[in-house]
Structure 1
């Protein structure tokens, strides 16, 4: 058996594998993914038993329509490559497609979800459109039918508006970047509205308006932007980001421009209302003048009535003066009488206060507790105050003064002679 070096073995394996697996189609689930700053994509795919490393070089990655994400079920076209210095093999991916779904549909949903999370579709950031735009920038292909449709409707509805056409690619390679640059330029022209759009086509034809570059240009524009792409059934990322979505380019002009014929009809109606109002005012003024003439005829009667009213006012003032004078006289007569009444009341109160003090003193002297405070003792039997004549020999009673209480017994009872000698 011949000896072989490691490098030689790896070279043989490389030649064998790369010759055997030049064109393969692989199904698997993305297990990990890394977008390198160089533009290459490094990822791995797996099934329920194995994992395989993959790489997509920058040239192929640039054509990828959607973003690779962990967990995505994909189909990979490519070949097997061997890195001989480490003896490792990997799949060189040429294209990647979502399993069972179109790449464009997945890319659309991915970008829509991400932009919505960043607030690109928020209603509060939508800019209002002026009712009577003076200048509109049309971002579209100069040779397209959409431009002619928009110009025709603009001339019919509101020819006073100035239209500026900003030419751009609307499909194919580089179209998204061209549209984004055209929107940014239109934003510098002082227009009231920017309309960006094109006519109908396949999903691939309209795809430029689903690119992030176009969404970013619309979002950053200071001028209100109308997205008018394709037909009514087409809904694109630009429709969500724009300040107004129109189903077609023609519909966009119908939506943003007033109708001069309708406006003229409105002006005629308002002029008719104004004429009717003027006639009503004239009739009202004539009636008012007629009443003024009649009032002048009655002026002499009113003058006499005014004189009578002034005389009545004078008599009323005189009557009030007489009443005030009589009241002042009555006040002078009542003042001495009031003083005498006050003096009589004070004397009566003084006499009554003296009698109250005498009665208070008598009550104080009759109060048994007052007498005990003066040294007298109170005789009580079974808690009730009693005179001595109610006590019999051998009966127990209590003696109470201000400081103490005694229990005592009657030893002897002797009546006193109460006759006054």
Structure 2
């Protein structure tokens, strides 16, 4: 026998294995270990069981089709072919498809879609809308003949029969189920209700799989009205449960979540009424306290203003009392000046008359020639006298007019000051009568100056609401 090379032997073994169709279409069960994901996309791993292990590889083009994340320790079923690496004759499985052991293809699709939509953010709580606390109308999407619609309507009627229900009948499984549900969602999008409930009873994974559709999930995610998903039994989960605004474990639970019983409503109304009344009472108490504070501030401000007004009135009264002698002195001075003016004018007129009489006597004692000359002078003097008389008369008129104006101004000034004085005096007397005490000696004579007091004597002090008797112990005079 002729010897062959190792490379020829390995090539023969590889060709021989490739000719075996059983080794080219294997379904192998095992647990993943020694998992390595290469940067080029290839995945290298080892499949093992309790007694043995074998190396395996998943090329990048097949790895991209896997519907779940492969992890160390996963128990899987792998569709593969057996071959060797010619260089070292290392035996390996070349895996074309892989899935988790014990799960069917539908569940793998469910897990893949769930993981994909979750990463995209369609299950985020931030996007979920608040379910109305007390909806008045409900849009119901379900089969009209199933047990789910009967359970839902029965619970809703028992809890609160005042809620309107608008049923849109659909197929909940089968080839037409998806299109029916999408049409129902489109209808309620154009005819919105307060909340929409998508529900059906229990079933197998295949029966519920229409609710794992990606297009349906995205439609629910973009739906404007709050939507509740109540599919199957409590242990059943579908994609619509995760993407909806609220998941109810059963149709009956959905009816309870979407409605409030009349007893609960009455209790809530009672609590709200109690809280509202308490807030009203608190607000009234706060307002009452604020009004009392405002009243106290206004009252204090008014008292301060009255006090300031009294002090100002006292000051003005004192000013008038001090200036009263000056006004009298001014009047007396004006009257004195007027009298002196009249006397001076009278004396001047008498002197002029005496001067005229002397001139006449002098004329009588002159000769005829002098008389003629004097006559001429007299005529001239007469003319001068006429002019002088006119001037005197004019000055007298001006003097009389000035006197009248002076009298009028003086009288006006005196009357005005007198009125102001009387008005201030009346105010002072009134203020004094109402607010200031009256001091009298034992002879009932009013005392207005400290000079009228005698040390060791008693005085009577009268107030608005009573009187008191005081003994003068000491007297101090102000400069």
Shorter-chain-normalised TM-score: which range? 0.3 to 0.5
TM-score, normalization by structure 2? 0.42
* TM-score (ref. length: structure 1): 0.46
Q: Which has the larger radius of gyration?
A: 2
Q: Please state which structure has a larger fraction of its residues in helix.
A: 2
